[in-house]
A and B are shown apart, each in its own frame.
Chain A
Amino acid sequence: MKILNAILGATALAALSLVSTVANAAGFPERQITMIVPFAAGGPTDTVARLVAEAMSKDLGQQVIVENVGGAGGTLGAARVANAEKDGYTILLHHIGMATSNTLYRKLPYKTLEAFDYIGLVTDVPMTLLARKDMPADDLKGLVEYAKANKDKVTVANAGIGAASHLCGMLFMSSIQTALVTVPYKGTGPAMTDLLGGQVDIMCDQTTNTTKQIQGKTVKAYAVTSPKRLDVLKDLPTVKEAGLPQMEVGIWHGMYAPKGAPKEAIDKLNKALKVALKDTNVGARFAELGTTPSPDADATPEALKAKLEGEIARWKPVIEAAGQYAD
Chain B
Amino acid sequence: MDLFSNLALGFSTATSLENLFFCLIGVLLGTLIGVLPGIGATATIAMLLPITFQLEPVSSLIMLAGIYYGAQYGGSTTAILINMPGESSSAVTAIDGYQMARKGKAGAALAIAAIGSFFAGTVSTFLVAIFAPPLTQIALQFGAAEYFSLMVVGLVSSIALAHGSIVKALAMVALGLLLGLVGTDIYTGTPRFTLGIREYADGLNFVAVAVGVFGIAEILRNLESEKTRSVLMSKVSGLLPSKEDFRAMIAPVLRGTVIGSILGILPGGGAILAAFASYTVEKKVSKHPEEFGHGAVAGVAGPESANNAGAQTSFIPLLTLGIPANPVMALMVGAMIIQGIVPGPNVATEQPALFWGIIASMWIGNLMLVVLNLPLIGLWVKLLTIPYYVLFPIIMAFCAIGVYSVNSNVYDLYSVAFFGLIGYVLSKLRCEPAPLLLGFVLGPLLEENLRRAMILSRGDPSTFVTRPISAALLFFAALVLVIVFLPSVKKKREEVFVEED
Contact = CB atoms under 8 A, between A and B. Distances in A.
Interface of A: 2-3, 5-6, 9-10, 13-14, 17-19, 40-44, 46-47, 50-51, 54, 66-73, 75-76, 79-80, 104, 109, 152-153, 155, 160-161, 181, 183-187, 189-190, 192-194, 196-200, 208, 211-213, 215-216, 218, 284-285, 288-289, 324-327
A79 B411 CA distance: 15
Contacts of B32: 2, 5-6, 9-10
A190 B334 CA distance: 16
Contact of B407 (A69, A153, A212): A69
A295 B456 CA distance: 43
Given A2-B380, A72-B199, A285-B340, 19 more contacts: A2-B383, A5-B32, A10-B47, A13-B29, A14-B48, A14-B50, A17-B51, A40-B327, A69-B408, A70-B407, A72-B201, A152-B458, A183-B456, A196-B323, A197-B141, A208-B337, A216-B345, A285-B338, A289-B337
6 nearest CB pairs, A to B: A212-B344, A42-B334, A6-B32, A216-B345, A197-B140, A72-B201
30 contacts: A2-B35, A3-B36, A3-B394, A6-B32, A13-B51, A14-B51, A41-B334, A42-B330, A42-B333, A47-B337, A68-B407, A73-B201, A104-B189, A155-B455, A160-B186, A183-B452, A183-B455, A184-B187, A184-B452, A186-B186, A189-B324, A190-B268, A193-B321, A194-B143, A196-B140, A212-B345, A213-B345, A215-B344, A215-B346, A216-B346
A68 B33 contact: no
Contact of B332 (A42, A76, A200): A42
Contacts of A326: 184, 189
Contacts of A6: 29, 32-33, 35-36
A44 B334 CA distance: 7
Contacts of B25: 13
A299 B352 CA distance: 39
Interface in B289-345: 317, 321-325, 327, 330-335, 337-338, 340, 342-345
Contact of B317 (A41, A109, A193): A193
Given A40-B330, A71-B409, A155 B398 contact: no
* B contacts with A: majority SS: helix
A284 B337 CA distance: 12
A79 B201 CA distance: 14
A190 B25 CA distance: 32
Contacts of B48: 10, 14
A193 to B, nearest CB: 5
A184 B321 CA distance: 20
Nearest to B397: A3
Contacts of B202: 70-72
Contact of B338 (A14, A47, A79, A190): A47
Contacts of B407: 68-71
A190 B139 CA distance: 12
B66 to A, nearest CB: 13
B54 interface: yes
Interface in B105-154: 139-144
Contact of B334 (A43, A153, A183): A43
Nearest to A108: B198
Nearest to A191: B323
A88 to B, nearest CB: 20
B104 interface: no
B189 A2 contact: no
Nearest to A71: B202
B53 interface: yes
Contacts of A192: 323
Contacts of A200: 456
A216 B319 CA distance: 13
Interface size class of B (residues with CB under 8 A): 35 or more
B46 interface: yes
B201 to A, nearest CB: 4
Nearest to B334: A42
Contacts of B321: 193, 196, 218
B184 A72 contact: yes
Contact of A197 (B50, B142, B198, B325): B142
A213 B322 contact: yes
A58 to B, nearest CB: 13
Contacts of B198: 71-72, 75-76, 79, 109
B448 interface: yes
Contacts of B345: 212-213, 216, 218
A42 B335 contact: yes
Most-contacted residue by chain A among B141, B198, B333 (CB, 10 A)? B198
B54 A17 contact: yes
Interface in B243-295: 267-268
A220 to B, nearest CB: 14
Nearest to B335: A42
B188 A324 contact: yes
B341 to A, nearest CB: 9
A181 B453 CA distance: 12
Contacts of B40: none
Nearest to B31: A6
B371 interface: no
A17 B28 CA distance: 17
A293 B321 CA distance: 28
A31 B189 CA distance: 40
B222 to A, nearest CB: 19
A174 B394 CA distance: 56
B35 A288 contact: no
A20 B6 CA distance: 39
B49 interface: yes
A152 B201 CA distance: 31
Contact of A67 (B322, B379, B398, B408): B408
